[in-house]
Structure 1
Amino acid sequence: MSQCFAPSRHQVHEIHNIIASRGRGIPNELVLDIMRLARYWPEVTTESTEYLSLVDGEWSLENSAAHVYLWATMPAPPHVGEKIKIQEIEFTIASHDQTWTTESTKGSYQTSSWFEASIFRPIRCPPSNVSAPDRVLDLNTSSNKDPTCLVDHFHKHGWLMVKRSGSISANRQGEPRLGGKATEKIPMESSRMHCEEMKVDSTGRPEGLHSWWLQGNEVADTSIFDRMTKYHVTWGCARNDVYQGNEGAGRGEGFVDSLQQGDVVGIWMRIKRRGWENHCYGIRMTMRYSI
């Protein structure tokens, strides 16, 4: 959910000290709760307005492509010893599909043109002698079928792709955990369930093992003047349980709570199945965080 005012880090520290000094002093936990309820958080925004398209150039039944459109780094703590906790992430996406279909799904979100979010974690903390993840990915999208097929490639260059963890957190190695133990199989997101091709990746593994469904393009049947649609999605954390999105948006369960210092978020463009396209005109991602 959008905010009209975003305080600076300095203003957050000032207000924190003012509240804490009232009367005989307010416990720090209560001060943080007050600021959370007031949504008094700094924010950092990353965006791109570069036009990019994924298309089925070969008209293939095996059509599948993935490309990271936007990279965003976690904000760094302002002082040594301080920790940053992401409270929510707001996404704005301007995009459309191929604007036609032979299926009876026009106006729905039973789509094969969509966006996903992944978390990339440096194997070394802090990272040392590794390339930033945006320099690791091969820009030849024809070889990038889906996020999971690139897990080993990123690992070789010093980055872990964190496994999707549902409503639970993930450990430093990117494995889901609950009470310090490995979890059971994470259910597939409902947005991937409308056809068999959407359920499995290029190697036959379940889709969505290392990425969260963010937003599907509405299956369009429009004129050239009405193609682009703007989508708004907000994901919160366990203590700030907010969500905004239409029926084509993912819930992002566990995404924000899985983020750790040093992580990088990547937003994927995806297509699957013959004839499907994804045209992206811009993505903006705003992280709001407490100090």
Structure 2
Amino acid sequence: MAQTPHTNIRVQAVQVPPFRNMSTQALHPVPPSHVVSTFTILRCLGIPDELILYILAIAEYYAREVSHRRKRVTFRANSHFNGVINDSEPSMAGLYMTASVPHNRIRSVAFTMKSRDQAWADNGGHGTYHNSHTWFEASILQRVVGHGQSDHDLVLPLEHPNGEPVTFRSVYAARDYLRQHGWDFKFGDGDNLKYTWKVHHNVTAMNEFREYNVRWVKGEKMLVVPEGEGMGIGIGDGEGFVESLQPGNMVLLWARAEQFAWVHIVDEATIVTEYEVL
């Protein structure tokens, strides 16, 4: 993996318009050396440093790591149901993919998911986010200090050991499994013990896969509003997520489903982390 190059460039941050949408360009990795080289070329043209930073921001040109998984996996809420309806409601958290966080100065994390539910619903909400019981969540993992994991544990992907889906009744129920592999949830500080963030719901009762895009930016409060009249809210605001990331952490994307007979089918997903090098 490319390392951040040594440079004596020292510039001050400038205010730029907020980023609104993921472009096709943003789904490709950008080594930090490319960003530094571009900055140097523009500086040689006599462009002021502050203006160069503005240009790079408008062009969405930051160092970028891209993790992608394309594998259709079906997650069923009933998979951890004890069969007694009055005793507990079906609920499932499926570990779909992870992405490493090798750098500091993380600027944003973006998620792109292609998924759908079981394509029917008894209680309405068809074509909206109302009555949606399948969704994505994200957690931040950190290494367990002093964990004596084996070399096999170090290289075994959390999301698909031996090619089989990994599921739990809830996100927190996965903690023992994660710790056995040398990881644990990174909890919030003080009274904030948050360890999972809602990313996005699926539209209810859709028989076609739909792509969902979410981007959380450090220091920016996401405006969470309905996508359209009567649609309801499907997206999560990600408050505090990017600010909590540190080098060596890992981002974990969960596929969630709850209530009897609900199914979450994930076709593919991408996690993009952008970070500053100037």
TM-score past 0.5 threshold: yes
Pair 1:141–1:15, CA change in 2 (3 A)? closer
User: CA shift at 1:107, angstroms?
Assistant: 2.5
Aligned-partner SS, 1:150? helix
Query: Does 1:215 pair with 2:236?
Result: no
Q: Where do 5+ consecutive residues of structure 1 fail to align?
A: 78-83, 164-175, 187-208
Pair 1:26–1:46, CA change in 2 (3 A)? closer
User: CA shift at 1:152, angstroms?
Assistant: 3.3
Query: Does 1:259 pair with 2:245?
Result: yes
Residue in 1 that maps onto 2:138: 117
Query: Does 1:287 pair with 2:261?
Result: no
Q: Where do 5+ consecutive residues of structure 2 fail to align?
A: 1-20, 228-232
1:173-192 alignment runs, 5 A limit: 176-177=188-189, 182=190, 184-185=191-192
Q: Of residues 93, 104, 113 in structure 2, which corresponds to 1:66?
A: 93
Matched-pair contact (CA < 8 Å) for 1:136–1:157: no
Residue in 1 that maps onto 2:73: 52
Residue identity in the other structure for 1:106: H
| Distance in 2 (alpha carbons) for counterparts of 1:40 and 1:111 | 36
Give the paired residue count.
Answer: 236
Query: Does 1:9 pair with 2:29?
Result: no
User: CA shift at 1:5, angstroms?
Assistant: 4.7
Matched-pair contact (CA < 8 Å) for 1:236–1:243: no
1:147-186 alignment runs, 5 A limit: 147-163=171-187, 176-177=188-189, 182=190, 184-185=191-192
1:209-248 alignment runs, 5 A limit: 209-220=194-205, 222=206, 226-238=207-219, 246=227, 247-248=233-234
Matched-pair contact (CA < 8 Å) for 2:98–2:159: no
Pair 1:185–1:261, CA change in 2 (3 A)? closer
Residue identity in the other structure for 2:243: D
User: CA shift at 1:158, angstroms?
Assistant: 2.3
Residue in 2 that maps onto 1:199: none
| Distance in 2 (alpha carbons) for counterparts of 1:108 and 1:116 | 19
| Distance in 2 (alpha carbons) for counterparts of 1:261 and 1:91 | 19
| Distance in 2 (alpha carbons) for counterparts of 1:20 and 1:241 | 32
User: CA shift at 1:106, angstroms?
Assistant: 2.1
Supply the RMSD in Å over aligned alpha carbons.
3.5
Matched-pair contact (CA < 8 Å) for 2:108–2:275: yes
Identity value in percent: 23
Query: Does 1:103 pair with 2:123?
Result: yes
